[in-house]
Amino acid sequence: MEAMGELSAKLREWIEYFEEAREVRRRFANWEFIKSQPPKLRVALEYFIEVGDLYNAAKLAGMSVEEFNELRIKAGIPSVG
């Protein structure tokens, strides 16, 4: 019972951590740059801001992880979490 309580406390901690990370990404992102991108890249960047998932964001953009990482840096989005 105690172990379950500990588990859900840990889970809550992680959820909060990821939510804070998303807020940071949103706040620092260069939205002007993002909105000027073609749909494929724009959607991928927005997805990355929301989820912080480099792998799938790169897939959405049709890029390698490394290429997309360069793009998110250009877009001012910090890698958090």
Give whole-number Cα distances, 72 to 10, 13, 28, 81, in Å: 29, 26, 11, 15
Q: Work out how close the CB of 69 gets to other proteins at its nearest, in angstroms, rounded to a whole number.
A: 17
Give the C-alpha separation, 2 to 45, whole Å: 41
- Give whichever of 33 and 47 is closer to other proteins, judged by the CB atom: 47
- Give whichever of 12 and 40 is closer to other proteins, judged by the CB atom: 40
Binding site for other proteins (CB under 8 A): 38-40, 42-44, 46-47, 50-51, 53, 55-56, 59-60, 62
- Give whichever of 5 and 38 is closer to other proteins, judged by the CB atom: 38
Q: Work out how close the CB of 27 gets to other proteins at its nearest, in angstroms, rounded to a whole number.
A: 19
Q: Please report where in the chains the tokens 């588990």 appear, as a residue.
A: 7
Which H or E element spans position 19? helix 2-28
